[in-house]
């Protein structure tokens, strides 16, 4: 199991962050993030892999993200996560993080950000044995434009034409729960849940 899924909410111009946090407050969208990354068969858990800045962006009361094994990637191996090692671990690279994917206890591996880890993981070639990304759960923020974003996601579709958007039924089937289809609205923000796959 070295195939990872990226989960991200991004604007049409690929903005994902502002001032070290999310540019919007979308409780239902965040619930979708939580449900999608938590869902696993009985007795198994998912891995949520993130960069150090992403870890720091998660409100203290929500981290480590519960019911998931949190993996923080940092070159600084003395970074203090301030969490118990059975809930959050520090790794020095995506490759060493992927070595944690013990198939007996761990179900899926999600890369949850931020821009550095998205870029690094999307740049890995598709491989049956080496860690790589073959799926993106993209929440496309449609309006407003959030033009003041200061952190951006790679335009993965433009970079590799093998990325194709899956049908909504496939998205529901893969996550394993009902996901609303079409344009959603919350706090004056419109967005859409999408799934992209690379074969």
**Catalytic residue check, 22:** yes
Q: What are phi and psi of 39, to 5 degrees?
A: -55, 120
179 sits near ligand FOL (criterion: CB under 6 A)? no
**Catalytic residue check, 124:** no
**Least Å from the CB of residue 148 to ligand FOL:** 17
Tokens (6 digits) for 19: 């001032």
Compare residues 109 and 113 and give the one whose CB is closer to ligand FOL: 113
73 sits near ligand FOL (criterion: CB under 6 A)? no
Compare residues 59 and 128 and give the one whose CB is closer to ligand FOL: 59
d(CA 127, CA 124): 8
Cα–Cα distances in angstroms (integers) from residue 177 to residues 38, 141, 172, 173, in the given order:
12, 21, 6, 7
Which listed range, 2-10, 83-91, 121-129, 148-156, lies at the site for ligand FOL (CB under 6 A)? 2-10
* Helix ranges, the chain (H): 27-38, 52-57, 94-98, 115-122, 156-159, 168-175
Compare residues 59 and 188 and give the one whose CB is closer to ligand FOL: 59
Which one of 18, 26, 29, 81 is the catalytic residue? 29
Active site positions, annotated? 22, 29
Residue numbers of the site for ligand FOL (CB under 6 A)? 7-9, 22, 29-31, 33-34, 54, 57-59, 62, 65-66, 112-113, 139
């Amino acid at each position: 199991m070295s195939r990872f899924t990226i989960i991200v909410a991004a604007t049409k111009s690929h903005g994902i962050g502002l001032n070290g946090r999310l540019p919007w407050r979308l409780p239902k969208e965040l619930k979708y993030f939580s449900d999608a990354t938590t869902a696993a068969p009985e007795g198994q858990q998912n891995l949520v892999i993130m960069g150090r800045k992403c870890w720091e962006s998660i409100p203290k009361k929500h981290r480590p993200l519960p019911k998931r094994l949190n993996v923080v990637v940092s070159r600084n191996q003395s970074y203090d996560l301030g969490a118990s090692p059975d809930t959050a671990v520090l790794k020095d690279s995506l490759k060493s993080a992927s070595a944690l994917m013990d198939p007996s206890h761990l179900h899926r591996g999600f890369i949850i950000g931020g821009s550095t880890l998205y870029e690094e993981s999307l740049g890995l070639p598709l491989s049956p044995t080496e860690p790589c990304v073959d799926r993106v759960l993209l929440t496309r923020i449609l309006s407003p434009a959030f033009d003041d974003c200061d952190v951006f996601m790679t335009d993965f579709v433009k970079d590799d034409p093998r990325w194709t958007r899956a049908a909504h039924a496939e998205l529901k089937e893969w996550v394993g729960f009902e996901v609303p289809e079409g344009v959603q609205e919350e706090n004056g923000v419109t967005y859409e849940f999408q799934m992209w796959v690379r074969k």
